[in-house]
Amino acid sequence: MGYCASPYRYQRRKTREVVVGTPGKGGVIIGGEHPIVVQSMLTCDTMDTAMCVQQTLDLVAVGCQLVRITAPTVKDAANLQRIVAELRGRNCWVPIVADIHFKPDAAMEAAKWVEKVRVNPGNYADSKKFAVKEYTDDQYAAELSRIEERFAPLVKLCKELGRAMRIGTNHGSLSDRIMNRYGDTPLGMVESALEFARVARKHDYHNFVFSMKASNPKIAIECYRLLVARLDELAPDWNYPIHLGVTEAGEGEDGRIKSAIGIGSLLCDGLGDTIRVSLTEDSPREIAVCRDLLAQIPTLANSTAKDFETVAPFDPFHFDRRDTPEIELTGEVRCGADQTVRVVVTRAAWEKLAPKISVKADVRPEALYEDLQLLEVDPREKFDINCDTQLVSVKDGIDLPAIAAFRLLAARLKELGRTNPILLKDCLQFPAVPLEPGIALLRASGVIGSLLADGIGDAILIRAETGAGQSLRLAFNILQAAGCRSFKTDYVACPSCGRTLFDLQSVTARIKHRTEHLKGVKIAIMGCIVNGPGEMADADFGYVGGAPGKINLYVGKKAVKFNIPESEAVDRLVDLIREHNKWVEPEAQETAVAV
């Protein structure tokens, strides 16, 4: 496959070690044979030393192994000295990571005091005007020379002081240079990171990791796969560790589902050496999700499973939904071809759900599992199908992880020259004890989301979540997070940090209260402009902190309203949605009607 050892059997990617801090005294080693490191980020003002110290201690108390703090200015970066000194004085030795975007001078100051520096190649020493310009090869080379001149001093300082680094690209903040040559693509993100890595290697500096973050899980998966494939092509010593994350994932179930799809899929393929789950919630909650997600990987990706010699069941570097014929699923509901991915439930779940579903409900079962004309097979064994219109699935009870089993099914069908639609299941064996809802959510999202990101699946069935209503809602939420359906408002919300110019949690709640009935509308809620315009490129509307107490409103990635007082901004956002004919009035709550 070019990006992992096998799509059917778990084998962790072998990387070099990156040392952050002093191992044995709070420091960590990322990569090699070491356990995957979990990390998070502070949400407070970097100049508030006491709050930064307290939030760091709170994170460490729940198992955070790396703590990132934003340093937007030299003044903020200088205050890291006080924060670190106070932490060490309290016998807290967790490594601190300075988050740098626009200011090389801030990076140079921060590197004096912290164990690791994160730089964003799209912002570092670059300005973004979203200008269209054709670069000649000479002009492009001149730009690279300018970047090296700005970046090399930090590389030399980190090497001298023994600091680590993350070269972290974001889908929302690629430079004009990259955008004009490669476009807003996974390839552009990879090449942006490699430009900076070549500067580091030129100075014999190797203590760094890569990241490729996006708010869309499918894009994140493609970017990381392409990065690893490119590193493998370059040379064996390009085996740098990988930091996994889905940026601006949001809050609640949606944030956890997006993270489980993006991070969980890659972990199951053996990629990833450190992870951060980005939630618009208090930072310690991120660590619990990190731990729970990591704990599911041995179940979702079995390292003892057999490898299989088959044709590739999907293109790992480009999303393309598997080509199938359209078939009747049940009654008037059809699946396959250009039909949306359908939601199937068991008869037992249907009997519980039927009295509670209103006649206009968007979230409703579309077929009963027991009534399907379904062929269930063990893809490890030979089977025959005499037509393409037969719905197929993997039969229950086989000792193969669900992701591997359905990939193998798709591969076997391809070998047979068949394009049959596939029903995906979140599990093939049922746990002896019912799963806690949060764990069921992570498992189902990891399995179903991973396969949907591969382009596999025409209908889905979730059974490990035993609550009928919860499992139905979870199925639709997974489809929305994977970009397969849109049944409600979609939100891109950053997790907050010291750059944030308003209270993200309360503002997100207010915006959701006003807009959550707008099916098919995507709204971005961004604390500052660092990733704002870029991450909002596929959003319909954006709410972005422009200055303290002031909000800028966007349509797509174009700012159209500036410096709106925060007290008025939500109302003005609603007005903007009206202006663009995307607004509908919320309907009164209906009484449930049996269907």
Kindly tell me if the per-residue pLDDT of 85 is higher than 50.
Answer: yes
Kindly tell me if the per-residue pLDDT of 496 is higher than 80.
Answer: no
Give the pLDDT band (50/70/90) at residue 128. Answer: low
202 C-beta neighbours (distance < 10 Å), count: 11
Kindly tell me if the per-residue pLDDT of 588 is higher than 70.
Answer: no
Query: For residue 66, which of 100, 104, 16, 115 has the smallest C-alpha distance?
Result: 115
Give the pLDDT band (50/70/90) at residue 590. Answer: very low
The rounded distance, in Å, linking the Cα atoms of 462 and 472 is 8
Kindly tell me if the per-residue pLDDT of 33 is higher than 50.
Answer: yes
Query: For residue 335, which of 363, 361, 374, 370 has the smallest C-alpha distance?
Result: 374
Give the pLDDT band (50/70/90) at residue 591. Answer: very low
Contact 460/344 with Cβ under 8 angstroms?
yes
DSSP annotation of 427 reads -
The rounded distance, in Å, linking the Cα atoms of 395 and 326 is 22
**Mean pLDDT within 162-174:** 92
Contact 174/127 with Cβ under 8 angstroms?
no
pLDDT in tens, 354-370: 988 887 788 999 999 99
Percent of the chain with pLDDT over 70: 96
Q: Which pLDDT score, from 0 to 100, does residue 536 have?
A: 65
The rounded distance, in Å, linking the Cα atoms of 197 and 208 is 9
Cα dist. 298→261, 282, 294, 305 in Å? 16, 28, 8, 11
Q: Which pLDDT score, from 0 to 100, does residue 594 have?
A: 37
pLDDT in tens, 404-421: 999 999 999 999 999 999
Q: Which pLDDT score, from 0 to 100, does residue 497 have?
A: 82
Kindly tell me if the per-residue pLDDT of 595 is higher than 70.
Answer: no
Strand partners, 209: 166
Q: Which pLDDT score, from 0 to 100, does residue 331 have?
A: 84
Q: Which pLDDT score, from 0 to 100, does residue 432 have?
A: 83
Kindly tell me if the per-residue pLDDT of 148 is higher than 90.
Answer: yes
Mean pLDDT of the chain: 92
Domains of the chain (ranges, CATH numbers): 23-298 (3.20.20.20), 327-481 (no CATH), 490-579 (3.30.413.10)
Kindly tell me if the per-residue pLDDT of 592 is higher than 60.
Answer: no
Please state the length of the chain: 595
pLDDT in tens, 220-272: 999 999 999 999 999 999 999 999 999 887 889 999 999 999 999 999 999 99
Strand partners, 274: 37, 243
Kindly tell me if the per-residue pLDDT of 547 is higher than 60.
Answer: yes
**Mean pLDDT within 521-527:** 90
**Which of left, alpha, beta for 135 (phi over 0: left; psi -120 to 50: alpha)?**
beta
48 Cβ partners below 8 Å, 6+ apart? none
Kindly tell me if the per-residue pLDDT of 593 is higher than 50.
Answer: no
Give the pLDDT band (50/70/90) at residue 531. Answer: low
Give the pLDDT band (50/70/90) at residue 2. Answer: confident
- Lowest-confidence range among 123-127, 167-171, 445-449, 500-504? 123-127
Contact 590/528 with Cβ under 8 angstroms?
no
